[in-house]
Amino acid sequence: MSDALVIEGLHKSFGPLEVLRGIDLAVADHEVVCLIGASGSGKSTLLRCINLLEPIDAGRIVVEGTEITGRGVNVNRIRRNIGIVFQAYNLFPHMSVLKNVTLAPRLALGLSSGEASARALELLQRFGLEDKAGNYPDSLSGGQQQRVAIVRALAMQPDLILLDEVTSALDPELVAEVLEVIRELAAAGMTMLIATHEMSFARDIADRICFLDAGVILEQGPPEQILSAPREQRTQQFLQRIIEAGRL
Amino acid sequence: MAGESRRRSDPPLDERRSRILGSLRSGAAGRGALIATFSTLVFFTLLVLLVTHAPGWPEVRSTFLDWGQFKDSFPDIAKAFLLNVKIFCIAEVLILIFALVLAIVRSLPGPAAFPLRMVAIAYADFFRGVPTILVIATLGFGAPALQLQGVPLSVTFWGIVSLVLVYTAYVSEVYRAGIESVHGSQAAAARSLGLTHWQSLRTVVLPQAVRRVIPPLLNDFIGLQKDTALVGFLGAVEAFKQSQIDAAATFNYTSFVAAALLFVALTIPLARFTDWLVARDRRRRQATGT
């Protein structure tokens, strides 16, 4: 397997606060990697750096063999190949679902309106949202909005999808429908890097779990090993707190 | 859901109206309406009595509220008012465009755009600081006096230019507030999909920003509409100038009242139109299907 994503020595600070302190990570094609760790451990920042939403201070990021953190790269071209889905959905509230999904394929990929709509409707249908195409985001439930956000990212046919705690803003009864979509993507072979607090979901779906602590990947391995027999004390403490909170 | 809670925080229209009249809910509705009517009648009766029993009232009435004078002066003032409408319409279109450009320039990112941002800020500071009447006087009297070839001599032209200069500064601030009120996550979502800065501004940020600032924009346009009267200062015969001419000829100020009524008659429909726009946008955002 070749690597979809390689990160080497990634550092990122916000002012005096160093959020990422040397991240090394490789994600193979079709691999699903889950990032776990406490709030503030750097999961979201890492994902935002990979999407170049945050400039990095040191290190390099290579996506599908192309270094994206070098000088003179076309940021817009790179972002087309890397989908990101946010915790707060970030749908465009002034556009219908269909327009939300077709906007980027039309403007960034240059698809005609007809081609973009056909692609969007096919995806909406695949995830049971075809009857919502004309709706505006505010009229949808949180789960539906997040599914639309995933479809919006998929419409760009990215090589890699980053999911940033996509179920954290949802009411508990709406989490399952979103996780179902992600499961289907994993089954279809989509390469994904997933920041999540859903440990049982991570155990289920991940090929590998990385535990982030204070801006470094402290421990990584297969789900069983990380969740059931973690080597590091910090990982054990983190999982202990999760168990106490009833999330595992 | 976010949508539901937002809907819940928007009270239905009749509930909002009832706030103007006081509490008119269910059982107390009849009694509440009665009290509201009664206190309104009392208030206005007292006000009318106070004014009409003032020592100078007979004189004021004949100078400001003479029906004969009103009928005589109204047609000319109404005709002159068309010039106000023309100035307003031309200026408004230009202001909407220039102010948006100025606001966009001011929100340009990066150190390279610093001089542009500086110029935009200096412009807004200057033209918001100088009284409109001074800009109109300076340009209206000064520019034609240059006697440069190709420079228009029309005072209306220079009046419009002055109003556009001043109001562009105000309106750009309104736009800017709108742009800054759109959460950064919206632009991030657009950029993450591969849209350029300009594409994300045009399709995601600006449409939301403009919708949000429609009420304050209208506020500025009502101000603009009234300030078209300042162009009369240069000698253009618009409604106020015409009413001054009439007043000077008849020693009666009823013509001012006629001009005032015309201005009000234009602003009220504008205000209702804005309400309608805002309501339509709210409905559309919560629409549940095609």
Domain residue ranges of chain A, discontinuous segments joined by +: 3-244
Contact B160, B90 (CB under 8 A): yes
Q: Look up the domain containing B21 and give its range.
A: 1-56
Chain A interface with B: residues with Cβ < 8 Å: 51, 53, 76-77, 79-80, 82-84, 86, 88, 90-94, 96, 103-104, 107-109, 131, 133-142, 145, 152-153, 156, 171
B50 plus B132 within the same structural domain: no
pLDDT greater than 70 at residue B19: no
Is there a domain that residue B63 lies in?
no
Mean pLDDT in residue range B181-208? 94
Is there a domain that residue B215 lies in?
yes
Given a cut of 50, the residues of chain A with pLDDT beneath it are none
Both tokens assigned to B135: 């800009």
**Predicted local distance difference test score (pLDDT) of residue A66:** 86
Mark yes or no for CB contact A135/B207 under 8 Å: no
Both tokens assigned to A169: 């803003």
Q: Which residue has the tokens 């709030």?
A: A39
Which superfamily does CATH assign the domain made up of A3-244 to?
Answer: P-loop containing nucleotide triphosphate hydrolases (3.40.50.300)
B23 plus B154 within the same structural domain: no
Q: Could you give the maximum distance between any two Cα atoms of chain A, in Å?
A: 55
pLDDT greater than 60 at residue B197: yes
B172 plus B233 within the same structural domain: yes
pLDDT greater than 70 at residue B1: no
Distance of CA A41 to the CA centre of its chain: 16
**Domain count of chain B?**
2
Of B216, B244, B219, the closest CA to residue B230 belongs to B244
**Predicted local distance difference test score (pLDDT) of residue B25:** 55
Q: For testing the chain B interface, which of A136, A151, A152 should be mutated: the one with the most B CBs within 10 Å?
A: A136
**Predicted local distance difference test score (pLDDT) of residue B4:** 43
All residues of chain A having their beta carbon less than 8 Å from the beta carbon of residue B211 are 94
Contact B168, B98 (CB under 8 A): yes
Using CA atoms, how far apart are residues B108 and B117, in angstroms rounded to an integer? Answer: 7
Is there a domain that residue B5 lies in?
yes
Helix (H) or strand (E) holding A9: strand A3-14
Confidence at B6, pLDDT banded by 50, 70, 90:
very low
Of B218, B228, B266, the closest CA to residue B87 belongs to B228
All residues of chain B having their beta carbon less than 8 Å from the beta carbon of residue A145 are 1-2
Mark yes or no for CB contact B195/A136 under 8 Å: no
All residues of chain A having their beta carbon less than 8 Å from the beta carbon of residue B190 are 92, 103-104
Is there a domain that residue B280 lies in?
yes
Is there a domain that residue B64 lies in?
no
Q: DSSP state, A66? A: E
Q: DSSP state, A87? A: T
B48 plus B82 within the same structural domain: no
**Predicted local distance difference test score (pLDDT) of residue B3:** 41
Mark yes or no for CB contact A90/B186 under 8 Å: yes
pLDDT greater than 50 at residue B9: no
Chain B interface with A: residues with Cβ < 8 Å: 1-3, 6-7, 185-186, 188-196, 199, 203-204, 207-208, 211, 284-290
Cα→Cα distances B124→A169, B89, B173, B281, Å: 41, 22, 8, 30
All residues of chain B having their beta carbon less than 8 Å from the beta carbon of residue A103 are 190, 193, 195, 203-204
**Predicted local distance difference test score (pLDDT) of residue B21:** 55
Q: What angle do CA B234, B83, B236 make, to 5 degrees?
A: 15
B29 plus B158 within the same structural domain: no
B91 plus B215 within the same structural domain: yes
**ipTM of the prediction greater than 0.85, yes or no:** yes
Contact A165, A43 (CB under 8 A): yes
**Predicted local distance difference test score (pLDDT) of residue B8:** 44
Q: Which of B43-57, B148-162, B176-190 has the lowest mean pLDDT?
A: B148-162
B113 plus B142 within the same structural domain: yes
Mean pLDDT in residue range B16-20? 53
- Return mean pLDDT, chain B: 86
- List the CATH number of the domain containing B101: 1.10.3720.10
Mark yes or no for CB contact B1/A134 under 8 Å: no
DSSP per-residue codes, A119-149: HHHHHHHHTT-GGGTT--GGGS-HHHHHHHH
Q: Which residue has the tokens 């009420």?
A: B215
Q: What angle do CA B101, B105, B107 make, to 5 degrees?
A: 120
Mark yes or no for CB contact A152/B284 under 8 Å: no
pLDDT greater than 50 at residue B243: yes
Is there a domain that residue B66 lies in?
no
**Predicted local distance difference test score (pLDDT) of residue A223:** 94
**Predicted local distance difference test score (pLDDT) of residue A244:** 85
SS3 category, A34 = strand
B240 plus B199 within the same structural domain: yes
What is the distance in angstroms between the Cα of A240 and the nearest Cα belonging to chain B?
Answer: 31
**Predicted local distance difference test score (pLDDT) of residue B5:** 43
B256 plus B184 within the same structural domain: yes
A vs B, Cβ pairs < 8 A, gives 93
